[in-house]
Structure 1
Amino acid sequence: MNKQLNIKVRNAVLMTMAELIAEKKQALMVANHMDLEKYEGDDLAMRDRLKVDQAKIEGMVLSLQQLATQKDPLSVERFSFTHDNGIQVSNKTAPFGTILIIYESRPDVTIEAAGIAFKSGNKILLKGGKESLHSNLFLVDLWHKALEANEADTNWVTYLQFSRTETQAFLEKPSQKIDLIVPRGGERLIAFVKQHASCPVIVSGRGNNFLYIDDEADLEMAADIIINGKTSKISACNALDKVLVSRNLPRKQEFLQHLVKALKRHNVEILTDKKLEGLEGTSLMGSNAVWFEEFLDYKILLGQVPDLKEAIQLINTYGGGHSAAIITNNNEKADEFMTSIDAAAVYHNASTRFTDGGQFGLGGELAISTDKLHQRGPIGLQHLVTNKWYVKGNGQTRN
């Protein structure tokens, strides 16, 4: 393992990286254009994640600059205790060691996730998808330039240009010690990593996010939040997939017709359950299996439930454990919903699109975990550490 870099050097590397990306943005977009030209799939979400434009580059630069201003997450004392015999016991944060990040199509992960891992004192192994190879190799070369400029070893950031077969072999029998693996991608990637990994895995889970409109909801607010949640970024895991309306919603048909028209203006395909069958501009869902689907597309499912209790039960049955929202003016119902829903993030009168490390004040994220160990939801700088016990004595022995 590399000798730990002090915080000044880590921050300097991040700032140098930010400057290099800003300086080389045209070359980065050329490399990314090569990836886009070679991509032959018809997956809208995949293409959206793959594309690097001015806004994404600005986001990369900003995330690095913000990371450089964050407090050092290492050697933070979490607990201290003085034994009767005088031994001083303390517990402090420590890096994991080496973190492997496996991801699909997102060159910005090469910046944000690697930056968070690096700032928290970890060596990073990056395994991106073949669809973003040119973009990723260009960015890793910039990482190496930033490290060299600050007299740090380039093996703090390593790119693994492996085939699927080579990746499987590496997961099962790594050629170096790996302390943590974070897969960021679809369910097939996550299942593949969990099946073959020989060390702990933090799952950056799927979305399939629900919103419930209570019978005491502000309907104009509900429509605005639904449109934002569904259409602002279909490729995001925090995008909205399912909307449940209360059976007793006032002006229900009028509201639903207004919502359908608003969604249609964004070219959203609208499915309904049996209870809302026949709503103009919609089609009946094929089977109950649709409740489990994360769409990652201009597609949404509208359903009806009799009450809050049924909404909670349905969301906990079918939701992805990522994000869920309630729209209501009744704070007691909101509290019941938020404490009862089994998800990493729960919302009252707000869009699920805020489930994001930067939006939550973490200065970016490595991933959004739907696991419950060791961290749930956005994994920021302060979460990408483990801990170590420090025991100081002056000759004490245990009887």
Structure 2
Amino acid sequence: MNTLLPIEKRNAVLTTMALLLEQEREALKAINKQDLANYNGEDLAMEKRLLVDDAKVDAMILSAKQLASQEDPVGQIRYEFTHENCLRISNKTAAFGTILIIYESRPDVTVEAGGIAFKSGNKILLKGGKESLLSNQKIVSLWHQALQSNDVATDWVEYLNYDRVQTQAFLEKPSQRIDLIVPRGGEKLIEFTKKHANCPVIVSGRGNNFLLVDNEANLEKAKNIIINGKTSNISVCNALDKVLIDINLPNWELFAKEIVSVLQDKNVEVLGDEVVAKTTGISAIESDDIWYEEFLDYKIVIGTVNTTQEAIEKINTYCGGHSASIITENKDKAQEFMNNVDSAAVYHNASTRFTDGGQFGLGGELAISTDKLHQRGPIGLQHLVTNKWFVYGEGQIR
């Protein structure tokens, strides 16, 4: 295990990284264009995540700067106790050691997730997808430059240029100790990692997020939130895939027709359950299995429910455990929904698109966990630590 770097060193590396990203902005965008040209374009969501433009570079720089300015997450006291025999006992946060991040398509993860892991005292192994290889290699070269210029060994940040077979072999018999693995990507990547890993895995799970339009909803709020959740960015796990409408909503049929029309105007494929399809004239779903699907595309399903409890049960049956929202002016009903929906983030009158480490004030995220251990939802700097017990004595024996 690497010796913990002083916080001043960690912050200096992150500050230098921000400067280098600005200096190399045009070179990074040019290299990224080669990755984009090499990509076959079969997956629209993947291609959007692959792109590095000025906005993406700005976000990388901001992430590095914010991380450098944040409090050290290592060594924070979580619990203190003095034994009757005068032993002083405390529980403090501690670095994991070495973290492996496996991800697809997103070069910005090489900065953001790598930076969060490094700031929290961990060595990082980055295993990016082949589609973003050139961009990732450029960013890792900047990491190494930032480390070297601050007299820090470059092995704190390593890039694993492995194919699937090599990755499987490394997971099953790693050539160095790995304390934690975080896969960021689709369900196939997550299942592959869980199947072959020999250490703890934090599942950055699928979205498949639901929204309930309650019978006491403000319909203008509902319309705006649905449009934002579905169309503002289809390639992210906090996008909206399913809408449930309470049929006790006055004139729910008119509202359903309006939503379908607006979504179709934005080139979204809209499918409905039997009731919605009959009411609005759209195609009906062919199987209830579609309620399990995360689309990552211009596609949405609209269905109906009779009660809030029915909506809660449906969401808990089919959702990915990521995010769910209720649109209602009834605060008691909203709280009932939020207390009982089994998702990492629950919303009242707001878009699921806010489930994000930056939006939650964490200064970025390593991943969004749909596991319940050890951290749920966006995993920020303060969550990427384990803990250990410090016991101070003067010769006490038991």
Tell me the TM-score normalised to structure 1 length. Answer: 0.99
Show the counterpart of 1:66.
66
Q: Distance in 2 between matches of 1:379 and 1:57?
A: 21
Q: What is the CA-CA distance between 1:154 and the residue it aligns to?
A: 0.4
Question: Gapped runs of 5+ residues in structure 1?
Answer: none
Deviation at 1:41, TM superposition (A): 3.4
User: Which residue of 2 is the match for residue 324 of structure 1?
Assistant: 324
Which segment drifts farther, 95-104 or 1-10?
Answer: 1-10
Give the Cα–Cα distance (whole angstroms) in 2 for the partners of residues 282 and 361 of structure 1: 40
1:209 touches 1:319 (CA, 8 Å); kept in 2? yes
1:14-33 aligned at under 5 Å gives the runs: 14-33=14-33
Post-superposition CA distance 1:12-43 (Å, at most 9, x none): 11111011111111110111111100111321
Contact 1:15 1:64 in 2 (8 A): yes
In 2, Cα distance between equivalents of 1:281 and 1:297: 22
Matching of residue 107 in structure 1 with residue 107 in structure 2? yes
What CA distance in whole angstroms lies between the structure 2 residues aligned with 1:289 and 1:177? 40
CA distance in 2 between partners of 1:43 and 1:347 (Å): 29
Name the residue aligned to 2:40. Answer: 40
Given that 1:260 and 1:281 are in contact with CA atoms closer than 8 Å, whether structure 2 keeps it comes out as no
Where in structure 2 are there 5+ consecutive unaligned residues? none
Provide the residue aligned with 1:240 in structure 2: 240
The answer for the alignment partner of 2:286 in structure 1 is 286
Q: Percent identity?
A: 66
Residue 397 of structure 2 corresponds to 397
Q: Match for residue 276 of structure 1? A: 276
Q: Give the superposition deviation at 1:395.
A: 0.9
1:79 corresponding residue in structure 2: 79
State how 1:187-226 maps to structure 2 within 5 Å: 187-226=187-226
**SS in structure 1 at match of 2:183:** strand
- Structure 1 residues 335-374: aligned runs within 5 Å: 335-374=335-374
CA distance in 2, matches of 1:275, 1:342: 26
Q: Distance in 2 between matches of 1:65 and 1:325?
A: 32
Question: Could you tell me how far 1:275 is from its partner in structure 2?
Answer: 1.6
Tell me if structure 2 keeps the 8 A contact 1:269–1:282.
Answer: no
**Is the CA contact 2:325–2:352 (under 8 Å) kept in the aligned structure 1?**
yes
Q: Distance in 2 between matches of 1:278 and 1:136?
A: 49
Give the superposition deviation at 1:281: 5.8
Aligned partner of residue 20 in structure 1, secondary structure: helix
- TM-aligned CA deviation for residue 144 of structure 1: 0.2
| Cα root mean square deviation, aligned | 0.8
Matches within 5 A, 1:151-170: 151-170=151-170
> What amino acid does structure 1 have at the position aligned with 2:160?
L
Q: Would you say 1:227 and 2:227 are equivalent positions?
A: yes
Q: Give the CA deviation at 1:114.
A: 0.3
Kept after mapping to 2: 8 A contact 1:102/1:126? yes
Whether the 8 Å contact between 1:365 and 1:380 is mirrored in structure 2 is: yes
Aligned to 2:309: 309
> Are 1:141 and 2:141 matched, yes or no?
yes
CA shift for structure 1 position 253: 1.7
CA deviation after TM superposition for structure 1 residue 188, in Å: 0.4
How big is each residue's C-alpha offset from its partner over 1:318-359, in whole Å with a ceiling of 9 and x where there is no partner?
Answer: 000000000000011001000000000000000000000010
TM-score by length of 2: 0.99
What per-residue deviation string (whole Å, max 9, x for no partner) do you get for residues 296-326 of structure 1? 0000000000110100000000000000000
DSSP 3-state at the match of 2:278: coil
Residue 45 of structure 1: how far off its partner (Å): 0.5
Separation (CA, whole Å) in 2 of partners of 1:277 and 1:243: 13
**Distance in 2, Cα, partners of 1:196 & 1:5:** 31
